[in-house]
């Protein structure tokens, strides 16, 4: 599939076209953000937000410009917005140092649901899922084990539906790569 064809199909809400565009441009957007942020998690989060925003506003894309340039511009603007929010939240945190939630520690031991899944001969899949980053584990768990809709997942993790879709796409792609390596 050519990029121009994929863009036209994506404008008509073709899921395969979105997958193609995500696979085609993920590395360049992620690489751009990795150089800017020097933090893998932050670069990945911004990249997900970039594709979410781009796919949500694909109809506004102007074919006079390269699609990759459009994505990079969106990515750059998202990063700038995050830096502004971070700067303002740092100011508010200076005055709120007695926050008890800052002392909570994440418990990564297997849950009861994890044990049930293991008992049902899904241990291998679960181990592969656990190799994913926590935010990917969460969306896969909510979608496929708790069987929530995109809207319910969106409300649960407090992100847009487009972000949820992009995270699920990326999580499935990474999980498939883990499984194929074995």
Domain ranges of the chain: 3-94, 107-181
Mean pLDDT of the chain: 84
Q: Which residue has the tokens 């076209």?
A: 17
For residue 60, give Cα distances in angstroms to 8, 55, 67, 70. Answer: 12, 10, 12, 10
pLDDT above 80 for 37: yes
Q: What is the rounded average pLDDT of the residues 121-131?
A: 76
As a three-state string, the secondary structure of the chain is: CCHHHHHHHHHCCCHHHHHHHHHHHHHHHHHHHHHHHCCHHHHHHHHHHHHHHHHHCHHHCCCCCCHHHHHHHHHHHHHHHHHHHHHHHHHHHHCCCCCHHHHCCCCCCCCHHHHHHHHHHHHHHHHHHHCCCHHHHHHHHHHHHCCCCHHHHHHHHCCCHHHHHHHHHHHHHHHHHHHHHC
What pLDDT, on the 0 to 100 scale, is given for residue 2?
Answer: 92
- CATH number of the structural domain 3-94: 1.10.1740.10
Give yes or no for a contact between 162 and 134, defined as CB atoms under 8 angstroms apart. Answer: no
One of 3.40.50.300, 1.10.10.10, 3.40.1010.10, 3.40.50.970 is the CATH number of 107-181, namely 1.10.10.10
Q: Residue 48: in which H helix or E strand, if any?
A: helix 40-56
Give the percent of the chain with pLDDT over 70: 81
Give yes or no for a contact between 129 and 111, defined as CB atoms under 8 angstroms apart. Answer: no
What pLDDT, on the 0 to 100 scale, is given for residue 111?
Answer: 62
Q: Do domains 3-94 and 107-181 have the same CATH topology?
A: no
Quote the CA–CA distance of 107 and 116 in Å, as a whole number. Answer: 18
pLDDT above 70 for 76: yes
Give the percent of the chain with pLDDT over 90: 40
pLDDT above 80 for 119: no
């Amino acid at each position: 599939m050519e990029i121009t064809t994929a863009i036209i199909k994506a404008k008509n809400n073709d899921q395969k076209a979105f997958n193609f565009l995500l696979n085609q441009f993920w590395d360049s957007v992620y690489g751009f953000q990795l150089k800017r942020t020097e933090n893998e998690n932050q670069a990945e989060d911004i990249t997900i937000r970039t594709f979410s925003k781009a796919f949500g506003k694909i109809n506004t894309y102007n074919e006079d410009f390269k699609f990759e340039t459009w994505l990079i511009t969106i990515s750059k603007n998202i990063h700038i917005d995050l830096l502004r929010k971070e700067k303002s939240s740092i100011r508010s945190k200076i005055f709120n140092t007695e926050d008890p939630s800052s002392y909570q520690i994440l418990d990564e031991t297997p849950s009861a649901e994890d044990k049930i899944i293991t008992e049902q001969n899904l241990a291998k899949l679960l181990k592969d899922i656990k190799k994913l980053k926590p935010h990917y584990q969460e969306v896969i768990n909510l979608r496929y084990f708790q069987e929530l809709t995109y809207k319910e997942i969106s409300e649960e993790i407090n992100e847009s539906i487009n972000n949820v879709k992009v995270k699920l796409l990326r999580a499935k792609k990474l999980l498939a790569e883990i499984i194929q390596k074995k």
